[in-house]
Structure 1
Amino acid sequence: MRVTINGDAREVPDGTTVAQAVRILTGVTTGVAVAVNDEVVTRGTWETTPLRDSDRVEVLTAVQGG
């Protein structure tokens, strides 16, 4: 199945969840927000939210600095 994660097309196995997509991109789970097709996915549902072919996933990480 093909999805777009942060603008990059990626091939992922069928049934890949939002949590797995986050792990593909980064090992960090704190300070992270995820949207699928422009809809925010709450952290409590990452493990149970499957991705579908052609989904657009945005994984945003908080950055501290000045």
Structure 2
Amino acid sequence: MEIQVNGQWREFPDEATVADVLEALGTATQGVAVALDGEVVRRGRWTDAVVAKGARLDILTAVQGG
């Protein structure tokens, strides 16, 4: 299935969860926030939150700076 990750269409297996997507992308889980179709997904739900075909997933990473 195709989903939109940070504005780019990507292919993932059907029934992939937020955790599956992050793992497939090699995204570190520390300092990361995820929104699924505009709704924040709490870290404790990443393994339960199934991403539907055509969904929009936004992955935000905290960065230090001055």
The alpha-carbon deviation at position 24 of structure 1 amounts to: 2.8
- Residues 16-44 of structure 1: per-residue CA shift (max 9 Å, x gap): 10011122334310100000000000000
Aligned to 2:52: 52
TM-score (norm 2): 0.93
The alpha-carbon deviation at position 11 of structure 1 amounts to: 0.9
Across the aligned residues of Structure 1 and Structure 2, the Cα RMSD in angstroms comes to: 1.0
- Residues 34-59 of structure 1: per-residue CA shift (max 9 Å, x gap): 00000000000000111101000000
Identity %: 47
Q: Which has the higher helix share?
A: 1
Aligned to 2:39: 39
Kindly indicate whether residue 58 of structure 2 is the aligned counterpart of residue 61 of structure 1.
no
Contiguous gaps of at least 5 residues in structure 2: none
